[in-house]
Amino acid sequence: MSESDGSADESPKLELLHESQLLAGLSRKELDEVDLASVMTRCQRGRVFFTAHDEPETIYFLKEGRVRLYRSSEGKQLTVALLDRGMIFGESSLLGQSHAGVFAEADEECLLCVMPTAKLSALITRIPRIGLNLLQCVGHRLQRSQELAEEVAFWSVRRRLARAILDLDERYGHPTLDGQRIINRAFTQAQIAEMIGSTRETVADLMGELRRSELIDLRKRRIVILNGAALRQAVLTAPLD
């Protein structure tokens, strides 16, 4: 991972810090303090930032790209979160906790702001707002983690797939000229399987069913939602396994 420095990077770094969920509501002076304690870094797809067994000592602010948080067991992976611009990860280090069995990997080329946990901990004592934001971030992520565990345990794969498609639409969806919705990011069947705790083969079969039922279509590896109402109904009314 290479560090970028120099005056040309000051503006983008401050822009990133201003957008970060952890630093929301901070004044320019407070952001300048965070700026001085951090560095900008760029990394390639596939970079592993930490494993489930690493001692947490760094927090990351994501400016560009996408990072995947996942658990791994017996050769299988379960994606627990996809992170985009403005999001943070490694926050468990601020709470004196381990990474709780989670790996973090760059899903595509990323630009990040990186800070040692010790420096941010010192900032929290002077800027309590960061601590309040941290509690919100951790709370939201914990809630989603609990929801995912419940879905994997009790929901049918078809229902989990419908939920995942709607979640991706909420984050990456755009209207098309013909009045439909397209998820403007490409995801492989294997990636989707890892989001819902299934296999690529099962996802392929179920996506084929959804296409034949005219709920979705595929255009250049991107999912097009033809009938969002039917997908939402599948999430709300599908029986538990």
Which architecture, in CATH terms, is 2-145?
Sandwich (2.60)
Q: What is the pLDDT of residue 224?
A: 97
Which phi and psi (to 5°) does residue 64 adopt? -135, 150
Matching CATH number, 155-237, of 1.10.10.10, 3.20.20.70, 3.40.50.10490, 2.102.10.10 = 1.10.10.10
Cβ atoms of 181 and 224 closer than 8 Å? yes
Q: Return the domain boundaries, the chain.
A: 2-145, 155-237
Q: What is the pLDDT of residue 11?
A: 58
Residue type, 194: E
Report pLDDT digits (tens) over 192-202. Answer: 999 999 999 99
Q: What is the pLDDT of residue 103?
A: 94
- Nearest CA to 13 among 21, 22, 4? 4
Q: What is the pLDDT of residue 97?
A: 63
Alpha-carbon 86 to chain mean position: 10
List helix spans (H) across the chain: 10-19, 28-36, 117-126, 128-154, 157-172, 189-196, 200-212, 228-237
Residues of the chain with pLDDT under 70: 1-12, 95-99, 238-241
Label the pairing between strands 103-106 and 181-183: unpaired
Q: How far is 132 from 22, CA to CA, in rounded Å?
A: 9
Half-sphere exposure of 63 (CA within 13 A, CB side): 18
Q: For residue 60, list its beta bridge partners.
A: 89, 114
Residue 181, C-beta contacts closer than 8 angstroms, at least 6 positions apart:
169, 173, 174, 175, 224, 225, 228
Which phi and psi (to 5°) does residue 106 adopt? -70, 120
pTM assigned to the model: 0.83
Q: What is the pLDDT of residue 148?
A: 86
Q: Which two tokens stand for residue 82?
A: 């996809």
Q: Which two tokens stand for residue 103?
A: 């790996």
Report pLDDT digits (tens) over 135-191. Answer: 888 888 888 888 888 888 899 999 999 999 999 999 999 999 988 999 999 999 999
